[in-house]
Amino acid sequence: MKKLIHFSEGVRESLRRLSNVTWMAEELHKVADYVLPTLSRISCVHTQILEVAITCSGAVCALIYYKGFLYSGHSDGSIKVWNIKGQSATLVWNIKEHKKAVTCFSLFEPGDSLISGSPDKTIRVWQVVHRKLECIEVIATKEPIQHLNTYGQTIFATTNGHGIKVFDASRKVKDNCKSKKVNCLAVVQGKIYAGCKDSSIQEFSITNNRAQEIKAATKFWKLQKKPIN
């Protein structure tokens, strides 16, 4: 038992949590406290803070921190807003407007807003209005949304298909990187970086419509400059 407790302080914490479930865990927890009752220790135990009694909304598919609250997107299409204080969490809002899972979030500069994407083929723009989270715009798409990112008033989205969907301020859409299956996105200093299934990274300049490809060669990484189609 001493070796077990020295190996991981998490064992003691796990036994404490399980003591209300099974008598065996309760007895083992008593033994652990008896063997090392006053041992000075550093605890590296994970603490689950979101232990609240609410109806299950399925898996958490997306998370973002926005305006002092933690937002979680769930597989049933709901968005939950949490106020985290110390080791406690309070559910502030529970909103369900997406018809399918909320797969991604991104901050959106105009109006200091938040956007969410879903396989229901919509992007929703959210704002806190009169101390309440409200959907102020719904952007319809032709394909399920997997990932979102923004730059100014422009929204970049990846879908189940190929390429990147680019929505300008008027919500007109155009396709970039049409020949690539894009798995992930990052927008940094006026450039879009797209991670693709073929192991390449596509770099696009938002301002001058230039592109280059970063791809692993046999022994080194190289840059190949080419225009955007």
3-state secondary structure 182-215: EEEEEEECCEEEEEECCCCEEEEECCCCEEEEEE
pLDDT in tens, 188-223: 888 999 999 888 999 998 888 788 888 766 555 556
pLDDT in tens, 140-157: 999 999 999 999 999 999
The better pLDDT of the pair 226, 64 is held by 64
Q: What is the rounded distance in angstroms from the CA atom of residue 183 to the CA atom of residue 159?
A: 9
Domain ranges of the chain: 2-35, 60-227
> Does position 98 have pLDDT exceeding 90, yes or no?
yes
Question: Tell me, what's the pLDDT at 53?
Answer: 45
Mean pLDDT of 51-59: 64
- Categorize the per-residue pLDDT at 106 as very low, low, confident or very high, splitting at 50, 70 and 90: very high
% the chain with pLDDT above 70: 69
Question: Tell me, what's the pLDDT at 89?
Answer: 87
Q: Does domain 60-227 have CATH number 2.130.10.10?
A: yes
Q: What is the rounded distance in angstroms from the CA atom of residue 154 to the CA atom of residue 108?
A: 9
